[in-house]
Structure 1
């Protein structure tokens, strides 16, 4: 009988795509798992049970739909939640303010924003831009319409049919057409006479208007028909409004307008709401470019990083020159993978976005990595080896590394309520995906400061509820609360959000059992000083099928015997290995009434049975900590 040990080191690549079970020739085969559920890869190798979800607040308004976003102002970071016709502000998980907005739940998917200092600019193609402003206190905010100065214009109508004669070369002049070219024109529209342009301030008739000139004209000679144009505002109730924006290099950039979907505009430098331009095209004047080529290139989102990025339906574009001026405002396409409406993020130093799922195309996460070529980026699918974990995403957020785990995190909320979580350590060229799920559905996410918040839909005692929760490494359960008392006690209140539901309780570090919340409280059989009350979740780690190289060949296709496994763990209370419960006990009077110990070391397990493509499965349930450092399997043919 030929024997050979096979070791799966630490799962640094997380969960791999099911299609890779047939590729044991790949190096990453033994560095990933068939299943990695509710676990987080460690920077030094191995997997930690994921953080629990701490309860913050209930938000009944989210039933119709909601979006979460961060607001980072001069006085701190806040969670902003948009619901049907409302906006809610949370500080430290506590709701401090709510106000009215014009955005229905159905319109939230198209909502975008640009944020700077204590102001958030709100964009939606069906609504005039608005601003959300913090007014000096956490409970004092305001939403108001945003007025732009010198908004850009565009010729939507037909060419002029008459000649135009100005009454003077500068200032406020009368422009007279030999035809009725001004019949549809209105105050605020632009007249461009070729050698200069201005804004209509009054309309006398369909053939005569008063224009305030921005540029001085060369003379007052009549301009022939077709050589001058009448332009209306690019953004209006009739033409639609901008759909997205961002601040970059001391300008406000705007795009995605309903009637100008390919165009990107930039404000004057230092004057974020002024889009004035002149024929001189001075460096600090407003800028404009239209992304025209063979693709539609409808701008979905703008993103400011080391460069300005435009994520379009035709692929990502980058504005390569810096600082941006009217003379160098152009963009280069970086690929043809179109972007979805989900807001992009910056992960581990690069911009990431979710691809478009139009016509049933698989949606994935792509990164834009600067390469050695000047002004060029490489477009990579970061979920290439874990495509099954990206399930038609609906939201995205990124988080920096922490003291406990130095990896950068990308949270991808899937349509089915799960989260595909990417752990990135670019310096080590490691991208590890895992699947996180909870007893409910995660609907939206945002990282505030460095804390990941989620909107979670749950069924509590038969009723559908909506909660704001955040991932917290100090919590073992979901929708949970940690409560403390000065003196040990048995009755613990403040649990109204779980009324009538069965919960798990950890008391003074030990599992206290299951209880039903009654009257917003649970009563324990023994007093405790510190408790956590919440919903349990299960975790699971399964190796890829073991395909060892034996002395007389390989295990591929053979009916092999998996006779032993060794699981190396750290600070683990209990787990199941191939269905066998492993409990770590200590004996002696010194350990009476103490919490269950956490074991660090190797756990050998004898296994029985034969089969093809055998795996080793380790899993846990309840609210117990666990860290799996490695799994070693021993097989024989």
Structure 2
């Protein structure tokens, strides 16, 4: 007798084989044996991952690049590609280009020579992007490293012999590139922290630098100057010259309240003199200090614009002295290794000479490391961790306290129990855990933080616990320990919306996903592979989602290449919009303007008959339109027409591929597309066999030749790229007591509860899969719709002791499984 059993959640992700006997664990009941190219939603369901779109080639294929997010706010976001002594900028899925120049000619030569209108300003070695060229379409949407530069021409570095002659048009734009000092070998240890349009970059081998953005193609990288921005007054003088009394004057910024360093010393014959000065720019007031026994103390303040300050034998307050210039990072081996912002200060840590020392700026003055004698609450702070071992500080994270991660422990730096904010007098450092961190930044989530331990093989979370008044954590990778055997995590990035997934680069190039939602005790690991190796990741907000960018190393045409790719949004409103290929390129010829319509008219409406196509609201036709195809659609009814004769820009004659529904005859239709039988722009996948989804239908694979593939049927929307397979396998089924473990069992039928799904195969193992038949009432020529609901399939049964269900998606289509319901028969 068969018994249905439901697996209602997969919220534990892929579990280690070492746990496959732990049927007593609650996580076992919601775990998986295999979760490959599927990701776990916080609610417990699983979806096939989205594919990636080709963004561009990295700066140099011979070296690994590092991706870094840069976010001014939720709408102004970038990904920065750091390569060997270069930085480039990516925005909205493409490299940022400088102003485009109009091409006026291209030779048929080796190498091809491009002429541009006016002086282009390019230099040998620059990388330029060409597009919209007529006559030489093979050159379009490609990057070239140019040479042989003259005032108005440049060589492409490739042969144009054999191409058709250039006829007209085209633009050339230089890819925006900024020089940096960072070598490829040092990029892994480069750390960053951002405030508005300014990013601080730190590395133990380089002086700290400030990266500032003022526009898409306007970035500056400068060595950080550690000094007050407010300058002191100049030309300080006394109306009673002499050597009996000494004075200095500081300027206080009107806008920020920052105090400058002291002016040059001025001396006076008596202490009833007037000290004057030349006002400093942006100062709102001036502080005057007088020396007593060699120590300067405050005696008064003068507003900006005053003629000076008169000392009336005022006794100096030596508990309030002028700031003293200080730069703790002024030489090699004194450069900090990490930085963050906390309590209105910028904090630095870890120099080669002092690996356990923390340094903060003055309050509200991020580049001001000055101190006073005696110290003031607003002065810069220096603290060294006192510990049994000298473990370098690797990362800082601002929560309600400053968490300080070293290679051997986690510490908190805070004001102590008797104070509210940290000052030079109130700055305590206390250990929280003796599990150190790898050289990978921790990630702050909604209510906690997660970090990779020093070994690179474990991930822990940490959060404040009121009961112990300390930060406590747990190992959140323990259930998936097999993913880290012999391998380590090298990079990661947090995609907060919509699913809260941390994407991790493993040392072997596999991309790991980690779905983490602490408040619901969700921590689930999943694996993701592509035809290549992932080397770097970064996440930024684009629209309402957090988008993942990847640097991927691939082999194409026998050559090692490195690309930046953008993972597509996983929201697919219909099958036509699905993007389930890697390193893909797409074409969308569907009309989006309801005022632009096409109308078919004619005397006969059978396949092969000739009709007139009339365009209203636009003029799309030219003499070159002969042979082009248009698809017209009304609901699920559609027809393709092929242009056979040109009348004018609004009228052509065309033949029908099939008899159109009566609703499409002599009716203005806004739902139409300019169809294409080819897809260009695929030079980055030359010679590779690609998966194709065209107007929601899976077409046979096609091999790229000269940057192009040819489809078996023209389509209005095409996505093509490298295929990948998504495998999902349940654990050994357990429905006891009494236990089913060790008993023979068979599953004859499986019901999958799915959402927006198509194209799955199911079976007891990967070698005995049965395709789910999904096409129902769709009209002829219209793609099978995505299914939401229950899909029942009779599988190829197999008596075994496991009782597993294996689900595979091998098509470039989406799938989401929210429950698996097998019908089980158990033997003795």
Q: TM-score range by the shorter chain?
A: 0.7 to 0.9
With over 3 angstroms needed to count, the CA separation of the structure-2 counterparts of 1:285 and 1:4, relative to structure 1, is same
Partner Cα separation in structure 1 for residue 264 and residue 356 of structure 2: 26
CA offset at residue 394 of structure 1?
0.5
Q: Which residue of 2 aligns with 1:567?
A: 752
With over 3 angstroms needed to count, the CA separation of the structure-2 counterparts of 1:168 and 1:306, relative to structure 1, is farther
Any stretches of 5+ residues in structure 1 without a counterpart? 152-166, 173-196, 202-213, 222-230
Written as runs of structure 1 = structure 2, the 5 A alignment for 1:32-431 is: 32-61=31-60, 63-73=62-72, 76-96=76-96, 97-134=176-213, 136-149=214-227, 219=293, 234-321=328-415, 322-357=420-455, 363-373=457-467, 375-390=469-484, 391-402=487-498, 407-431=499-523
Q: Which residue of 1 aligns with 2:277?
A: none
SS in structure 2 at match of 1:257: coil
CA offset at residue 200 of structure 1?
13
Is the contact between residue 565 and residue 607 of structure 1 (CA under 8 Å) also seen in structure 2?
Answer: no
Is the contact between residue 743 and residue 826 of structure 2 (CA under 8 Å) also seen in structure 1?
Answer: no
* Deviation per residue, 1:367-420 (Å, 9 max, x gap): 111111364111221212122234400001112122xxxx31111111111122
Q: Which residue of 1 aligns with 2:708?
A: 521
CA offset at residue 92 of structure 1?
1.5
**Do structure 1's residue 622 and structure 2's residue 814 form an aligned pair?**
no
**Do structure 1's residue 609 and structure 2's residue 683 form an aligned pair?**
no
Where relative contact order (Cα < 8 A, 6+ residues apart) is larger, the structure is: 1
Q: Which residue of 2 aligns with 1:27?
A: 26
SS in structure 2 at match of 1:7: coil
Partner Cα separation in structure 1 for residue 59 and residue 792 of structure 2: 46
Q: Which residue of 1 aligns with 2:235?
A: none
Partner Cα separation in structure 1 for residue 3 and residue 563 of structure 2: 50
Is the contact between residue 547 and residue 613 of structure 1 (CA under 8 Å) also seen in structure 2?
Answer: no
Is the contact between residue 584 and residue 596 of structure 1 (CA under 8 Å) also seen in structure 2?
Answer: no
1:479 counterpart (560, 583, 587): 583
* Deviation per residue, 1:468-515 (Å, 9 max, x gap): 112212521111123112511212222222222211111101112211
Q: Which residue of 1 aligns with 2:725?
A: 538
SS in structure 2 at match of 1:389: helix
Partner Cα separation in structure 1 for residue 351 and residue 225 of structure 2: 16
Q: Which residue of 2 aligns with 1:211?
A: none
With over 3 angstroms needed to count, the CA separation of the structure-2 counterparts of 1:170 and 1:458, relative to structure 1, is farther
Any stretches of 5+ residues in structure 2 without a counterpart? 97-175, 230-242, 249-260, 266-287, 296-324, 571-577, 590-672
Partner Cα separation in structure 2 for residue 111 and residue 368 of structure 1: 24
Flag the structure with higher strand content.
Answer: 1
With over 3 angstroms needed to count, the CA separation of the structure-2 counterparts of 1:62 and 1:367, relative to structure 1, is farther
Is the contact between residue 58 and residue 65 of structure 2 (CA under 8 Å) also seen in structure 1?
Answer: no
Partner Cα separation in structure 2 for residue 599 and residue 73 of structure 1: 40
Partner Cα separation in structure 2 for residue 215 and residue 168 of structure 1: 15
SS in structure 2 at match of 1:22: coil
SS in structure 1 at match of 2:186: helix
Q: Which residue of 1 aligns with 2:12?
A: 13
Is the contact between residue 247 and residue 291 of structure 2 (CA under 8 Å) also seen in structure 1?
Answer: no
CA offset at residue 220 of structure 1?
5.8
Partner Cα separation in structure 1 for residue 540 and residue 696 of structure 2: 29
Deviates further, 625-634 or 576-585: 576-585
Q: Which residue of 2 aligns with 1:447?
A: 539
SS in structure 1 at match of 2:362: coil
CA offset at residue 169 of structure 1?
9.3
Partner Cα separation in structure 2 for residue 298 and residue 199 of structure 1: 38
Partner Cα separation in structure 1 for residue 510 and residue 40 of structure 2: 18
Partner Cα separation in structure 1 for residue 289 and residue 442 of structure 2: 39
Partner Cα separation in structure 2 for residue 452 and residue 599 of structure 1: 27
With over 3 angstroms needed to count, the CA separation of the structure-2 counterparts of 1:607 and 1:521, relative to structure 1, is closer
Deviates further, 276-285 or 259-268: 276-285
* Deviation per residue, 1:115-171 (Å, 9 max, x gap): 11211111111111112111x2201112222221289xxxxxxxxxxxxxxx99966
Aligned residues: 564
Partner Cα separation in structure 1 for residue 452 and residue 18 of structure 2: 22
Partner Cα separation in structure 2 for residue 170 and residue 248 of structure 1: 38
Written as runs of structure 1 = structure 2, the 5 A alignment for 1:492-511 is: 492-511=679-698
Is the contact between residue 127 and residue 240 of structure 1 (CA under 8 Å) also seen in structure 2?
Answer: no
Q: Which residue of 1 aligns with 2:155?
A: none
Partner Cα separation in structure 2 for residue 169 and residue 121 of structure 1: 43
RMSD: 2.8
SS in structure 1 at match of 2:539: strand
2:780 counterpart (592, 595, 599): 592
SS in structure 2 at match of 1:252: strand
Partner Cα separation in structure 2 for residue 200 and residue 292 of structure 1: 38
With over 3 angstroms needed to count, the CA separation of the structure-2 counterparts of 1:606 and 1:76, relative to structure 1, is closer
With over 3 angstroms needed to count, the CA separation of the structure-2 counterparts of 1:104 and 1:621, relative to structure 1, is same
Is the contact between residue 496 and residue 521 of structure 1 (CA under 8 Å) also seen in structure 2?
Answer: yes
* Deviation per residue, 1:228-283 (Å, 9 max, x gap): xxx99643434331111112222111111111110011001121111111133222
Partner Cα separation in structure 2 for residue 58 and residue 4 of structure 1: 54
